[in-house]
Amino acid sequence: MNFLLSIIDSLVGFVQRNPLTTLLIVILAFGAPALLKGIAIVILYILMGLILLIVALMLLFRWRIYKMRKQMEEQFSRGGFDPRQGGFGSSFTREEPRGGRREGEVRVHRTADAPEKRVSEDVGDYIDFEEEKN
């Protein structure tokens, strides 16, 4: 019962907000019912077209997800999970450790001198502060 009351309330609200549109619909209903029927059919076709478009997009999305899932399953069954290769059977292989290098060892190579500062020394303020324990 609440459902019917909400539909009636929304229709009354539409009539209150759009009195000229409602008057035009009533005049078309009495004066030219064939024209009103044609307008209703056009609106129906537009709504049906939107519904079909939404269904087609949903099916396309499902098909794409299915295809990606199959591709990931094939990659997993082919190469398994290897974090050194960047994931599941990745074609991007990393360089294997060379002789003498241990796992987890980090080497830093300096490539060039540090560039000059782009901001001059007199830009900004320096605030001296001290931390106090309470």
pTM check: above 0.95: no
Tens digits of per-residue pLDDT, 25-49? 888 888 888 887 888 899 999 999 9
The answer to whether the beta carbons of residues 69 and 77 sit under 8 Å apart is no
Tens digits of per-residue pLDDT, 68-112? 999 988 888 876 655 555 555 445 444 555 556 678 888 877 777
Phi–psi pair at 87, nearest 5 degrees:
135, -145
The answer, yes or no, to whether residue 129 has pLDDT greater than 90, is no
**Domain definitions of the chain by residue range:** 2-78
